[in-house]
């Protein structure tokens, strides 16, 4: 059963987000309002430090926790339907995850739709990863994480890296990943009332902004339709009340069928990317588990695979 804090958060999200959100509004007008709302939910933990930077021409932030294992790096890809959000909305979540993983995190401010449609986000993530390697980052000490659209982008990046023959990271964590922009999952319909934040209409509108002329089943846009063979270990956390629940379930099943070490945890009564709300006991527990997974993969120095030439 969800905690009382989670039940209160559910009501708050219905009041402040779902009931007031116009999925057909210009995403450029939504960004500032989303940032103001997200900033209510915590900043960088005490002792942490943020450093603005550019990586392969893409704006980003280094988030340094108070305690970090030298040599371990997390590349974080934020959510927001590929059209909103960025470092200002996700800095607190990334700082808490970096602290739990005891590693520095690079929070990428990739280009957003509709100004920069697919595959701009994938290109920025790929360029940032390659830049980290070029700077000497050991891929066996490198992990990737992302929430919502950033979770789908994480999988797309892994598939692109594998297909290009690049060294793969040690592992990846997915928080409520959006992996099917065709919106073909059963929970996209059945969880419409359960989900206090997302709606099918809003998701389809965001998909149109991002895809424009691209196919919703292109694996680099919707990695659910891609090949999962030889991907690194995955840990997926998702709320049971999400319309995107099937995006996680089906990805975990496909990855496991392909021989990938993929672990799925469904959190009862929790909403989309609940880890963003630090006052929830479930959020703290999830971040701790995700951080321990990322730290364990990096510290073990797991050998990376490359596609055959």
Instruction: Find the distance separating the first CA and the last CA of the chain, reported in whole Å.
Output: 50
The answer to whether 245 and 171 have CB atoms below 8 angstroms apart is no
Residue bearing tokens 């099917």: 180
Taking each helix axis from N to C end, the angle separating 87-101 and 27-38, rounded to the nearest 10 degrees, works out to: 50
> Residue 268 burial (CB < 10 Å; 0-12/13-18/19+)?
exposed
What the block records as the tokens of 87 is 């470092």
- Which of 83, 188, 237, 242 does the annotation list as catalytic? 242
Enter the DSSP assignment of 186. Answer: T
Quick check: is 90 catalytic? Answer: no
CB atoms within 10 A of CB 32: 11
- Which of 99, 140, 148, 222 does the annotation list as catalytic? 148
Quick check: is 131 catalytic? Answer: no
Quick check: is 188 catalytic? Answer: no
> How many residues are given for the chain?
309
> Residue 36 burial (CB < 10 Å; 0-12/13-18/19+)?
exposed
- Which of 90, 209, 237, 272 does the annotation list as catalytic? 272
Backbone phi, then psi, for 113, in 5-degree steps?
Answer: -85, 160
Pairing of strands 142-147, 171-175: parallel
What the block records as the tokens of 229 is 């063979």
Q: Which of 297, 302, 283, 307 is nearest to 93 (CA)?
A: 283
Active site residues: 148, 242, 272
């Amino acid at each position: 059963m969800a905690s009382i804090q989670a039940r209160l958060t559910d009501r708050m999200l219905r009041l402040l987000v779902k009931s007031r959100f116009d999925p057909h509004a210009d995403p450029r007008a939504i960004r500032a309002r989303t940032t103001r709302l997200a900033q209510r939910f915590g900043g960088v933990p005490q002792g942490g430090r943020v450093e603005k930077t550019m990586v392969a021409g893409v704006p980003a932030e280094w988030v340094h926790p108070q305690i970090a294992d030298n040599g371990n790096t997390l590349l974080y890809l934020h959510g927001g339907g590929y059209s909103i959000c960025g470092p200002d909305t996700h800095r607190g979540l990334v700082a808490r995850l970096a602290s739990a993983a005891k590693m520095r995190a690079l929070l990428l401010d990739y280009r957003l739709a509709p100004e920069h449609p697919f595959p701009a986000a994938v290109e920025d993530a790929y360029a940032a990863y390659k830049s980290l390697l070029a700077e000497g980052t050991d891929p066996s000490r490198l992990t990737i994480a992302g929430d919502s659209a950033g979770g789908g982008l994480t999988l797309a990046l892994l598939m692109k890296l594998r297909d290009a023959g690049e060294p793969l990271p040690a592992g990846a964590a997915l928080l409520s990943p959006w992996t099917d922009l065709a919106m073909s999952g059963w929970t996209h319909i059945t969880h419409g009332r359960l989900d206090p934040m997302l709606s099918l209409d809003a998701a389809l509108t965001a998909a149109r902004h991002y895809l424009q002329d691209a196919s919703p089943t292109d694996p680099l846009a919707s990695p659910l339709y891609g090949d999962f063979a030889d991907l690194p270990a995955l840990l997926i956390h998702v709320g049971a009340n999400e319309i995107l629940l099937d995006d996680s379930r089906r990805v975990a099943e496909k990855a496991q069928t392909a021989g990938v070490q993929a672990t799925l945890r469904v959190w009862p009564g929790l909403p989309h990317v609940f880890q963003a709300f630090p006052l929830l006991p479930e959020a703290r527990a999830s971040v701790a588990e995700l951080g321990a997974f990322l730290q364990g993969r990096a510290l073990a120095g797991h050998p990376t695979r490359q596609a055959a030439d």
